[in-house]
Amino acid sequence: MEVMGVSRSDDSALRERIVASILKTGFNGSGVGIWGAEVCQRCGELGTYWALAGAMVSHAGGEFACRGCRNNQGRHVARDQAHCYCECCQKRVERKDALSVARRWLCDRCGAELSSQFDEEQLNTHLSRLARRRYLELKPSLDDLRRHGLTQAEQRLALDEIHAEGEERRDLESRWEERWLEALAELSEIHGVRYRLDNNGTTVHKD
């Protein structure tokens, strides 16, 4: 099975370390929040979405359509469109011959290989994680990845508070700065830079 990727920088080892740390931030091994990169079912190219509004617009017809196609052809993928594109290898295939997984499509080769490894729920999770990884791999620079990692870490701390109750929540809220500094120390090692807070409490980094 071929998974189409994107070009990587010379800092591939560092990029992979940052990507892996972001994907571990979430509760299901795929990060926090709503974001991803999927195969457009109109043109077969990768496109991205960010946050709930972006996900809703790009999946308005139930299947993903990239921004360029939405701007040129409207928001919805035609329900009578005879072909689709494989979420893994991006191959154009006849819809009648493709495997449907939660409104995404797999060609016969990718579908057969993945179906031998995962049940339907696991396969859906696998494709969701692929969408997350692709989104991160499309980030053009290390600083873009670092900023995304900082956002994810901050959101995870906030979620920890939301999911806590009573005294535990009050304790977490009272120790926000302490917890954030601990997170920054860990991220400094992963991101290859030294993070600190300035006098205004803003996170900055120094190489």
Least confident piece of the model among 1-5, 89-93, 142-146? 1-5
3-state secondary structure 19-43: HHHHHCCCCCCCCCCCEEEEECCCC
Smallest Cα–Cα separation from 21: which of 173, 146, 157, 163?
146
Regarding whether 121 and 86 lie in a shared domain, the answer is yes
Regarding whether 176 and 99 lie in a shared domain, the answer is no
Q: Kindly report the number of other CB atoms within 10 A of residue 114's CB atom.
A: 19
Instruction: Specify the number of domains making up the chain.
Output: 2
Q: Say what the pLDDT of residue 151 is.
A: 92
Tokens encoding 59: 């999946």
pLDDT in tens, 156-181: 999 999 999 999 999 999 999 999 99
Contact of 27 with 151, CB cutoff 8 Å? no
Rounded percentage of the chain residues whose pLDDT exceeds 90 = 72
In a domain, 185, yes or no: yes
pLDDT in tens, 4-56: 444 444 588 999 999 999 998 865 555 688 999 999 999 999 999 999 999 99
Smallest Cα–Cα separation from 87: which of 63, 53, 67, 116?
63
In a domain, 190, yes or no: yes
* Burial group, residue 43, by CB count within 10 angstroms (0-12, 13-18, 19+): middle
Q: Say what the pLDDT of residue 29 is.
A: 56
Regarding whether 184 and 117 lie in a shared domain, the answer is no
Regarding whether 127 and 167 lie in a shared domain, the answer is no
Regarding whether 115 and 40 lie in a shared domain, the answer is yes
> Where among 96, 114, 137 does a domain terminate?
137
Regarding whether 151 and 68 lie in a shared domain, the answer is no
Cα–Cα distance for residue pair 109/166, rounded to 1 Å: 51
The angle at the Cα of 104, spanning 73 to 91, to the nearest 5 degrees, equals 75
Q: Say what the pLDDT of residue 32 is.
A: 82
Residue 27's alpha-carbon distances to 34, 131, 156, 172, 176, in angstroms, are 13, 16, 9, 18, 20
What mean pLDDT value characterizes the chain? Answer: 88
Cα–Cα distance for residue pair 204/197, rounded to 1 Å: 6
